[in-house]
Amino acid sequence: MSTGVIIVIVVVVVLLLVGGVVAARIGARKRRSKQLRDRFGPEYDRAVEQHGDRKQAEDKLEERRERREQLEIRPLEREQQERFAEEWRRVQGRFVDAPQEAVRESDHLVKEVMRQRGYPIEDFERRADDISVDHPHVVENYRSAGRIAGRNERGEASTEDLRQATVHYRELFEELLETRVGGGSQSDAGGRGEAAGGPGRETGGGRQEEVR
């Protein structure tokens, strides 16, 4: 076999090897992208937009996932669920007369449920990032509620803003509680007429208004 033929064979083999490595890397990147997109849903697109670079965004999402895996997230006991649900109904019932205070208490309740379940609660952005791993479809609403809560403290939030913040807090609250705050689990609450977003309910003192 001539030297020229050997060189051609070597070049072809090298090109095949390089092509295989490149194809493997591309495949791995595509699998990672799909896994992260499936895991984070709308939060994936938000991260890409925020960082302006897909790889950097995916690295940040991976960091969130790995950090979340180090946390010991635990379910609430039945008694805790019932106590928190009753607290929420009490806060919601105060909204008409004291919407600013109701939003403050809603924020406090969400943080307390997070703490009880094992999430760190010291920093808002850290809370939102941690929540995004397990609850990616409601975390942006949680951020929106947090922004409104900030305006509330500055006296800049309208009553409609405060109502929307309470709705957003409730969405995450119910997911963390794994029960509807109108009473009943998420699996059976769909048929209830007085679930969290339903009409006001009758109490001993008459009709109690709830945020819709």
Each residue of 80-128: pLDDT tens digit?
999 999 999 999 999 999 999 999 999 999 999 999 999 999 899 999 9
pLDDT at 194 over 50: no
79 contacts 61 by C-beta, under 8 angstroms: no
Bridge pairing between strands 206-208 and 201-203: antiparallel
Give, as one character, the DSSP assignment of residue 200: -
Query: For residue 71, is pLDDT > 60?
Result: yes
Q: Are 136 and 41 in contact (CB under 8 A)?
A: yes
* φ, ψ (nearest 5 deg) of residue 97: -85, -30
Per-residue pLDDT at 39 exceeds 80: yes
* pLDDT > 60? residue 12: yes
Mark 191-207 as b/e (b = at least 16 C-beta within 10 Å): eeebbbeeebeeeeeee
pLDDT, tens digit, 9 for 90 and up, residues 159-189: 999 999 999 999 999 999 988 886 443 433 3
**Beta-carbon count within 10 A of 146 CB:** 18
Angle between helices 54-69 and 124-134 (to 10 degrees): 90
DSSP letter (8 states) at residue 209: P
Looking at residue 10, its pLDDT comes to 67
